Every structure is written in structure tokens, then in C-alpha cells.
Amino acid sequence: MGEHDLSERVNRFWLRVTEGMQLSQLWSQFRADAHSSYRLYSREVDSTRVEGVHHGRHFLSLATQFFWAIVEKLTPARRVLFLVALVLVLVPGGEWTWRTRSGTVEVFGLDFHFYGGLLMSALLILEVADRVVMKRDLQIAKEIQTWLLPESPPHVPGLEIAFTTRPANTVAGDYYDVFARPSEGSGSGTFLIAIADVAGKSIPAALLMATFQASLKTLSGTHSSLPELVGRMNRYACSNSQNGRRFTTAFIAEFDPQSRRLTYVNAGHNDPILRRQSGVIERLGAGGLPLGIMKDALYLSGEVVMQTGDWLATFTDGVIEAENSVQQEYGEHRFITMLNSGVMLTPPMLLNTIMVDLDRFVGDASQHDDITCILLRAT
């Protein structure tokens, strides 16, 4: 084999392992994975030092708690496998001698490290198999969730609309939608604009997001006012919110193209930002509690008229609470600054500009929460 062929094989092997990522990208990914794993295990570690306890003893207590936080994530059978492997890795190998009947000396050696490494490898293979199965299931869940969310905004007379979402994990607990709501009689109908954030992330939040979407689509077909619709959604949410632990914040608005009137209910969500053409900022906060906390909660509605040149920005807290490497938040002030500086752009262009600025601010820090944003401009 020539030197050129060997170099080609090494390059192909490296590309297969790294999927073409640079060393800096690999290091950033490793740091993000390490931080995520540390947050997972450290939740079960009480780092409070009791007064009078020596620092060394306190460190040993932390190490013990962290060790058990890792071990208890395994199944009982794998815990035993891990502990046996760990003992074999830590115990030094040895040699035993004995004399046979013929007088010869036999020597028997055993390398415990080797067998400990084999058991660790077996445990790794089992964990990787679980991860592959889970990743496949998550990918299917992601595809299903994609079907529940609109690919592109519908045509709404009097409005230009753009939206985007970025899940923190494979699936998200954020929801957004814009769709027509049939009106009573011979009217032209109105449009519902919704954005919601289910408490938590990943699969549990995604499942509740799907129930939120189903209840909104079902109840929007009934002839009821917006506060009544939200109240009925809240009663349904209370039936599967685990006594309020799995609540949902939501902003639901109904836009009438003929009157340009926007009626809304803010159920504990981040107050949307209404930027008037004059530059005046208004907050849309009328509403009530998040959905799923109190069955008999009362919801009030607010109302604004969208004039030409007005902008409405709705978002989940993943946008303004996005953190950089020094744990500084993106914040509403910076978001409003970007909104003010881009009012001459179209909603898709401004939304892309905001997301680029958000990426620039966050840098290599990992994403901790789902990010969703809807921008509307009155025409």
C-alpha cells in the first residue's frame, strides 16, 4: 500500500467519524454535550455545605451524590455490570503460582483491567443501542410534530406574516399557527393567530403541545367568543396538566380583515410587542392565568386596531431568555432594538435578521429552551 493510499484511507476514516466537522466544531459540540450532561446529573446533587463540615468531606459527599446520580440512570442489571466493571478496572492484576506433582512451577496471570474494559465496552454497546432506538423514535415524533405546524403562513388580507421555530431538543413544546376561523352567517370569516409554550421540553411537552393544537382546532370551529374559547381550552388543559405542573402559556388572537380589529387573550404568555408606525410600543397583556392551572379561571380579552405600518411581534421566552457563554440574556431591549431597526424590511427578512443576531449573541452556548417567533405587519 502506497503512502498516498494510506493517506486517502485515513482521510475517509476521519470524515466518516467526524461527518466533516472541524476540530473547533467538535470541541464546541463536546462542551455543549458535557454541559447538558452535567445539568442532568447535578439536579440530584445537593451542593449545600453544612456548617462545620470539612471541605474534603464535603467534596467526597458531592462526588458520592454525583456517582449515584449517574448509576441510578441505568437499569438494575446494567448497574451491576457497571459496578463489576468498575471494580475490575480499579483492582490491579495478579499472578498466582503453584507447584505441580511433577515438581514444575506453573504461573497463572489474570489482567483484571482487560476484563473490566470488556464489560465497560459491553455496557457502552447496550447504551448506544438504546440511544439509537430512542433517536429513531424521536425522529418519527419530529416528523409528526412537523405535520402539526404550518410550513408557511396563509394569505391574510391586511397582514404580512412570518414565523419560525427552533426546538431545543429533537421535538419541542412550542406551538404556533395562523388559520382561518369560519364566521357565523355569511361573513367573510376571521383568522386565529396562536402561539403557546408548554412547561418543560422534549417528549412530555411535545405530547401536550399536540393536545393543545387539537383542542384549539376543534373548539375554534364552534361559535363562541375568544374568551369563551380560551376558557374551554383551559378546562380541557386542567384535565391533563398533572395538577398544574404541566401548564401552558398562550397568546391567542382573532383578526378581522374587514375592521382590522385584533381581539386577543393573553394566558400568562410573554406580552407581545405592538409597534405602531409612529414608533410607540404597546404591550398586549390582557387575559388571565396560564392554561391548566385553575379550572374556573376567568379570561378577559383585549382589543387593538391594526393600522398600516404597525408591527406585532409574538414570541416564546426561549427568544428573550437565550443566554450566551457568560449567562447574559438576549433580553427584550435588544429584541425591540432589532424590531425598530428593521421596520423597512419585510417580515421574513426582519425575522431572519433577528435570528442571525440571536445566533451572534448566543455564540457557542447551548440552546436551553425552544425558540418560536411570529412577526406580523399591517399593510
From the centroid of its chain, how far is CA 196? 13
Q: How far apart are CA 50 and CA 277, in angstroms?
A: 58
Residue boundaries of the structural domains of the chain:
151-378
pLDDT of residue 113: 80
Question: One-letter amino acid identity for 209?
Answer: M
Residue 109 pLDDT more than 70?
A: no
How much is the average pLDDT of 342-371?
92
Looking at domain 151-378, which CATH architecture does it have?
Answer: 4-Layer Sandwich (3.60)
Question: One-letter amino acid identity for 354?
Answer: I
Q: How far apart are CA 352 and CA 368, in angstroms?
A: 20
Q: How far apart are CA 211 and CA 236, in angstroms?
A: 9
Give Rg (Cα) of the chain.
28
Q: How far apart are CA 219 and CA 228, in angstroms?
A: 10
* Other beta carbons within 10 Å of 266: 26
pLDDT of residue 50: 76
pLDDT of residue 336: 96
pLDDT of residue 93: 66
Q: How is the chain split among helix, strand and coil, in percent rounded to 5? A: 45, 20, 35
Residue 103 pLDDT more than 70?
A: no
Residue 255 pLDDT more than 90?
A: yes
All three cell numbers of 252, joined, read 391567542
**pLDDT tens, 300-332?**
999 999 999 999 999 999 999 999 988 899 999
pLDDT of residue 167: 87
* Other beta carbons within 10 Å of 218: 12
Strand residues in 209-272 grouped as ranges (E): 248-256, 261-267
Per the CB < 8 A criterion, the answer to whether 320 and 197 are in contact is no
**pLDDT tens, 218-240?**
999 888 899 999 999 999 898 87
Dihedral sign from CA coordinates of 264, 288, 373, 163: negative
pTM score over 0.85 = no
Q: Cell numbers 471494580 label which residue?
A: 87
Instruction: Measure Cα distances from 92 to 4, 7, 19, 112, 117 in Å.
Output: 43, 39, 38, 6, 13
